[in-house]
């Protein structure tokens, strides 16, 4: 049975009359639409106000701030000088190098490890709930508590990691106090703190894969690795892509972990990140203009990733 | 077709709405771009003769003031309330509304407060904050209000201290406390190591030798500690440089001046203590608060500090005053000085300004009263005897020091080496925090990298600081 067509159910709308006054009818339609959607608009007001005040307004304000500076108690137009300042600051390039290094390492560890953990968890038939809880527990800890825990682990004098290394006869490491290992140490701590959420998302995606696909692969003689490569990865590709982008966006804004673990910059500035530099400009140097300029640079870069994320999200909806 | 046909108007509406929102926000943001009229300080224009007169006791105003002691500091809070009552005996119509802030100042909060112009009428700052406050148009020029009638002890106030609160000859604040840096020692550890705590080290070779002996006690004990994070490393490099007669920037304030034999000597000495002697402990990247914890737990022999670091350790970390002593900064050519003060918000009425000065004078600048009522401080169980504040000169200083010694609650002899060898104070360099950030890298390199090239580090830091100074 086909659906009733418009022509069968009601008369067609009258043809537009060129001589008839259009505005009152538009107004009436508008009023009617407004009345119909009044409740929805009412519900939206709170959210719109909140976003306007705490998200959109600060973003627009930041744009203006990037072209201003304070001089003798006055706000004056700064032109591009805030951008010149940040590009000439040696810490700018160091912060970007460090941030990209953190992002790269965080993707290697923070992207692969949760996926592997999810794969392993997916294979368990019993106690899966408890294991999920165990994996998710670090996310529930306050970030500061987790970071301080790792600060203790990494201490070269009395830290747990060096004691463990010593117990098995391996040489002690400097962890956060060496330019070679500082960033990796920060990434390990960050991965432990944040992998729970990603693991659960991967696990949900894995559980959505029809079992018949694995059975078919098994019949074709596929081993574990081939099943992962030819069934699991293609079936979860979209989720993996979305998570990859989300992680890039999140890791490029890293702040708490290096700030608390290494006091900000770390040994010879090895853990100074872009967001920390923004914080330093604003709250240590009282240079809001340069902080806003650097914020804009970061915004432009992250906007690119966000656009890709939105595209992928739409693709997943369709 | 149908799809695009139905979507186009919606998209169009969406774009129109987005454009309208963006315009509205942009307008709002542009409105947020505050700027004062002409920067000439028009808001400060006052009748000089009227301003110079003390506060009329009948004046009715309400003053908001930060840094009122928090409820946890019961004795200090009791004194604050007593002082408000006494102040109100003379000025019954002045209402003091104290704001409890603990700590009194946190740089990020302070910076945001100035930006939002939400500081109280009378607000607490560090000596180094003057430029930041003026950049934000935040303080009143109080030159016309401050004189021997409104602040009777003014003539005996250390002019160096008042100078840091002035710009272009205009006075913007009144001091609350000040300090000069010296060498803080752990007396029990000195005794355990066979060192005489009454004769603390006064040169860097002596510090190194003493640190080595203290570290030899073992059990994770460090002889000497130093900061290298949170800009504190740069701050202490500056203090050490001053102690040896060096400087961070040249006289004109346009070039770095630390890349010389003095700077190299400082770094080489630290490197030798850290790596050759192993007398500085393994844990580095320390910032303010970390060394205090080490010393209060009996694991650290010495570090550069101000006298009130001892108060922090006693009040927060369970330490005892008698366990500590102070020596002058090694080298003794000059020492970094700092302190805190109160400024008065720009734009408040002249009556409020007068009332604020009357309160600051009563509470913080009158010998024998307010914070200088040492007999009351002792009776309330608070410590007396630290060589801080120390901004009086002449007859006022003599009387003040006598009163403080008479009421001391700690063995002041432990500070004899510090007080008997008064070192000339020197303020922080311009663009201090930005320079400290660069020097932090140098300090962290020396303390975390055994193979650090000190000459190379100084060369790089010099170039970076020159760039910072060129961008002023």
| Position B278 pLDDT exceeds 60 | yes
Residue B178: per-residue pLDDT: 92
| Position B150 pLDDT exceeds 90 | yes
Taking the C-alpha atoms of residue B449 and residue B270, their distance in angstroms, rounded to an integer, is: 12
- 3-class SS at B325? strand
Residues of B in Cβ contact (< 8 Å) with A285: 433-434
Taking the C-alpha atoms of residue A286 and residue A292, their distance in angstroms, rounded to an integer, is: 11
Compute the residue count for chain B: 472
Among A14-18, A119-123, A146-150, B295-299, where is mean pLDDT lowest? A14-18
Write the pLDDT tens digit of every residue in A136-186.
888 888 989 999 999 999 998 888 999 999 899 888 888 998 899 999 999
Write the pLDDT tens digit of every residue in B403-414.
999 999 999 999
B436 forms beta bridges with: none
B26-to-A23, A45, A291, B108, B321 alpha-carbon distances in Å: 31, 20, 19, 26, 57
A113 forms beta bridges with: none
Contact B433 A284 (CB under 8 A): yes
B126-to-B107, B176, B275, B310, B464 alpha-carbon distances in Å: 10, 10, 35, 19, 26
DSSP string, A112-135: HHHHHHHHHHHH--SSHHHHHHHH
Taking the C-alpha atoms of residue B309 and residue A246, their distance in angstroms, rounded to an integer, is: 45
| A304-A306-A307-A313 Cα dihedral, nearest 10 degrees | 150
DSSP character at residue A229: I
pLDDT (mean) for B238-261: 96
Using CA coordinates, name the residue in chain B closest to A264: B230
User: Torsions phi, psi of B220, nearest 5?
Assistant: 75, 20
If one compares B23 and B298, the residue with the highest pLDDT of the two is: B298
Q: Is A229 on the interface with B (CB under 8 A)?
A: no
Write the pLDDT tens digit of every residue in B318-350.
999 999 999 999 999 999 998 899 999 999 999
Using CA coordinates, name the residue in chain A closest to B24: A57
The interface residues of chain B toward chain A in range 72-111, judged by CB-CB distance below 8 A, are 107-108, 111
Global confidence as pTM? 0.80
| Position B260 pLDDT exceeds 90 | yes
Residue B197: per-residue pLDDT: 97
Residue B290: per-residue pLDDT: 93
Compute the residue count for chain A: 318
Taking the C-alpha atoms of residue A314 and residue B10, their distance in angstroms, rounded to an integer, is: 18
| Position A3 pLDDT exceeds 80 | no
| Position A63 pLDDT exceeds 60 | yes
Taking the C-alpha atoms of residue A29 and residue B15, their distance in angstroms, rounded to an integer, is: 20
Residue B63: per-residue pLDDT: 96
User: Torsions phi, psi of B303, nearest 5?
Assistant: -160, 160
User: Torsions phi, psi of B346, nearest 5?
Assistant: -70, 140
Q: Is A173 on the interface with B (CB under 8 A)?
A: no
The minimum CA-CA distance between B361 and chain A, rounded to whole Å, is: 27
pLDDT grade, residue B472 (50/70/90)? low
Residue A1: per-residue pLDDT: 37
DSSP character at residue B413: G
- 3-class SS at B186? strand
| Position A22 pLDDT exceeds 70 | no
Q: What percent of chain A is modeled with pLDDT above 70? A: 92
Q: Is B449 on the interface with A (CB under 8 A)?
A: yes
Taking the C-alpha atoms of residue A288 and residue A283, their distance in angstroms, rounded to an integer, is: 8
For chain B, give the mean pLDDT.
89
Furthest-apart CA atoms within chain B: distance in Å: 96
Among A31-45, A301-315, B70-84, B244-258, where is mean pLDDT lowest? A301-315
The helix (run of H) or strand (run of E) holding residue B426 is strand B425-426
pLDDT grade, residue B422 (50/70/90)? confident
Residues of A in Cβ contact (< 8 Å) with B231: 284
In b/e form, how buried is each residue of B375-400, taking b as 16+ CB within 10 angstroms? ebbbeeebbbbbbbbbbbeeebbeeb
Q: Is A147 on the interface with B (CB under 8 A)?
A: no
DSSP string, A168-191: TTPPP--GGGSTTTHHHHHHHHHH
Taking the C-alpha atoms of residue B156 and residue B59, their distance in angstroms, rounded to an integer, is: 28
Q: Is A71 on the interface with B (CB under 8 A)?
A: yes
A238-to-A112, A201, A202, A243, A311 alpha-carbon distances in Å: 15, 12, 11, 9, 11
Domains of chain B (ranges plus CATH)?
Answer: 54-180+338-406 (3.40.190.10), 182-334+420-470 (3.40.190.10)
Taking the C-alpha atoms of residue A288 and residue A275, their distance in angstroms, rounded to an integer, is: 13
Write the pLDDT tens digit of every residue in A250-296.
889 999 999 999 887 889 889 999 999 999 899 888 888 999 999 99
Residues of A in Cβ contact (< 8 Å) with B434: 285
Taking the C-alpha atoms of residue B338 and residue B336, their distance in angstroms, rounded to an integer, is: 7
Among A24-33, A102-111, B233-242, where is mean pLDDT lowest? A24-33
Q: Is A161 on the interface with B (CB under 8 A)?
A: no
User: Torsions phi, psi of B90, nearest 5?
Assistant: -85, -35
pLDDT grade, residue A317 (50/70/90)? low
Contact A177 B448 (CB under 8 A): yes
What architecture is the A90-317 domain classified under in CATH? Orthogonal Bundle (1.10)
If one compares A111 and B190, the residue with the highest pLDDT of the two is: B190
B46-to-A10, B117, B123, B148, B157 alpha-carbon distances in Å: 80, 22, 21, 19, 25
pLDDT (mean) for B22-37: 48
Q: Is residue A305 classed exposed, middle or buried when 0-12, 13-18 and 19+ CB atoms within 10 A define those classes?
A: middle
The helix (run of H) or strand (run of E) holding residue B324 is strand B324-328
Taking the C-alpha atoms of residue A6 and residue A152, their distance in angstroms, rounded to an integer, is: 72
Question: How many helices and strands in chain B, by DSSP H and E?
Answer: 18, 12
Residue B24: per-residue pLDDT: 55
Taking the C-alpha atoms of residue B95 and residue B355, their distance in angstroms, rounded to an integer, is: 10
Which residue from A246, A248, A271, A274 is spatially nearest to A260, judged by alpha carbons?
Answer: A271
Residue B211: per-residue pLDDT: 98
In whole angstroms, what separates CA B247 from the centre of its chain?
20
B335 forms beta bridges with: B425
The minimum CA-CA distance between B400 and chain A, rounded to whole Å, is: 36
Return the domain boundaries, chain A.
90-317
If one compares A5 and A129, the residue with the highest pLDDT of the two is: A129
Among A43-57, A148-162, A235-249, where is mean pLDDT lowest? A235-249
| A76-A78-A79-A85 Cα dihedral, nearest 10 degrees | -170
| Position A4 pLDDT exceeds 80 | no
Residue A132: per-residue pLDDT: 84
Which residue in B33, B285, B440 is closest to A177 by CB distance?
B285
pLDDT (mean) for B137-147: 95
Taking the C-alpha atoms of residue B261 and residue A64, their distance in angstroms, rounded to an integer, is: 46
Verify cis geometry, omega within 30 degrees of 0, for the bond prior to B103: yes
CB A255 within 8 A of CB A278: no
Q: Is A60 on the interface with B (CB under 8 A)?
A: yes
Close Cβ partners of A149 (under 8 Å, ≥ 6 residues apart): none
Provide the 10 A C-beta neighbour count for residue A207.
12
Residues of A in Cβ contact (< 8 Å) with B28: 57, 60-61
A289-to-A32, B106, B112, B184, B272 alpha-carbon distances in Å: 47, 21, 14, 40, 41
Taking the C-alpha atoms of residue A194 and residue A42, their distance in angstroms, rounded to an integer, is: 36
pLDDT (mean) for B270-298: 95
Residue A7: per-residue pLDDT: 39
**What are the strands, taking DSSP E only, across B181-276?**
182-186, 222-224
């Amino acid at each position: 049975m086909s659906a009733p067509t418009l022509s069968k159910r009601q008369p067609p709308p009258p043809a537009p009359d060129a001589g008839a006054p259009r505005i009152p009818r538009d107004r009436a339609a508008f009023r009617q639409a407004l009345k119909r959607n009044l409740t929805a608009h009412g519900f939206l007001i709170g959210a719109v106000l909140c976003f306007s005040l705490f998200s959109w307004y600060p973003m627009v304000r930041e744009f203006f701030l990037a072209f201003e500076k304070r001089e003798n108690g006055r706000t004056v137009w700064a032109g591009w000088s805030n951008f010149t300042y940040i590009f000439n600051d040696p810490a700018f390039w160091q912060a970007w190098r460090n941030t990209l290094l953190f992002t790269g390492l965080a993707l290697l560890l923070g992207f692969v490890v949760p996926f592997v953990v999810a794969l392993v968890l997916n294979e368990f038939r019993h106690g899966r709930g408890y294991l999920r809880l165990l994996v998710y527990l670090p996310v529930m800890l306050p970030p500061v508590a987790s970071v301080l825990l790792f600060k203790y682990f990494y201490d070269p004098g009395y830290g747990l990691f060096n004691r463990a290394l010593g117990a098995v006869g391996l040489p002690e490491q400097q962890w956060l106090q060496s330019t070679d290992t500082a960033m990796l140490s920060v990434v390990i701590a960050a991965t432990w703190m944040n992998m729970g959420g990603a693991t659960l998302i991967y696990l949900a995606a894995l559980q959505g894969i029809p079992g018949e696909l694995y059975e078919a692969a098994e019949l074709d003689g596929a081993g574990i690795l081939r099943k992962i490569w030819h069934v699991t990865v293609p079936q979860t590709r979209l989720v993996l892509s979305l998570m990859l982008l989300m992680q890039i966006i999140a890791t490029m804004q890293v702040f708490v972990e290096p700030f608390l673990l290494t006091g900000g910059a770390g040994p010879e500035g090895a853990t100074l990140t872009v967001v920390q530099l923004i914080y330093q400009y604003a709250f240590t140097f009282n240079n809001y203009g340069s902080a806003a300029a650097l914020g804009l640079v970061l915004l432009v870069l992250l906007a690119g990733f966000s656009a890709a994320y939105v595209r992928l999200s739409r693709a997943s909806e369709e | 077709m149908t799809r695009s046909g139905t979507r186009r108007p919606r998209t169009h509406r969406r774009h129109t709405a987005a454009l309208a929102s963006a315009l509205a926000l942009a307008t709002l943001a542009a409105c947020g771009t505050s700027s004062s009229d002409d920067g000439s300080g028009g808001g400060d224009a006052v009748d000089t003769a009227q301003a110079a007169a003390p506060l009329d006791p009948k004046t009715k105003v309400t003053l908001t003031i930060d840094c009122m002691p928090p409820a946890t500091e019961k004795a200090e809070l009791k004194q604050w309330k007593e002082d408000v009552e006494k102040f109100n005996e003379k000025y019954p119509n002045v209402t003091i509304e104290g704001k409890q802030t603990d700590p009194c100042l946190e740089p990020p909060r302070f910076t945001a407060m100035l930006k939002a112009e939400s500081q109280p009428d009378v607000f607490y700052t560090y000596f180094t904050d003057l430029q930041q406050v003026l950049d934000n148009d935040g303080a009143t020029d109080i030159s016309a209000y401050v004189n021997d009638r409104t602040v009777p002890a003014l003539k005996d106030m250390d002019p160096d201290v008042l100078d840091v609160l002035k710009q272009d000859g205009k006075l913007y604040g009144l001091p609350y406390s000040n300090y000069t840096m010296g060498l803080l020692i752990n007396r029990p550890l000195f005794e355990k190591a066979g060192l005489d705590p009454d004769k603390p080290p006064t040169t860097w070779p002596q510090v190194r030798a003493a640190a080595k002996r203290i570290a030899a006690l073992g059990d994770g004990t460090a002889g000497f500690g130093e900061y290298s994070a949170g800009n504190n490393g740069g701050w202490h490099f500056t203090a050490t440089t001053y102690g040896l007669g060096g400087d961070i920037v040249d006289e004109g304030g346009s070039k770095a001046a630390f890349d010389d034999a003095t700077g190299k000597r400082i770094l080489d000495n630290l490197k030798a203590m850290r790596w050759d002697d192993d007398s500085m402990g393994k844990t580095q990247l320390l910032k303010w608060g970390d060394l205090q914890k080490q010393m209060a737990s009996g694991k650290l022999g010495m570090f550069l500090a101000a006298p009130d670091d001892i108060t922090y350790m006693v009040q927060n970390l369970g330490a005892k005053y008698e366990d500590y002593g102070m020596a002058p900064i090694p080298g003794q050519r000059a020492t970094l000085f700092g302190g805190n003060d109160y400024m008065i918000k720009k734009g408040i009425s002249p009556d409020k300004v007068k009332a604020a000065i009357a309160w600051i004078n009563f509470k913080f600048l009158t010998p024998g009263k307010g914070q200088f009522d040492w007999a009351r401080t002792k009776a309330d169980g608070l410590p007396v005897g630290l060589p801080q504040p120390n901004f009086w000169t002449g007859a006022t200083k003599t009387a003040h020091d006598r009163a403080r010694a008479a009421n001391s609650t700690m063995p002041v002899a432990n500070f004899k080496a510090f007080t008997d060898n008064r070192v000339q104070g020197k303020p922080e360099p311009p663009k201090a925090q930005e320079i400290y950030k660069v020097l932090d890298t140098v300090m962290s390199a020396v303390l975390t990298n055994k193979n650090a090239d000190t000459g190379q580090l100084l060369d790089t830091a010099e170039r970076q600081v020159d760039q910072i100074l060129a961008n002023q």
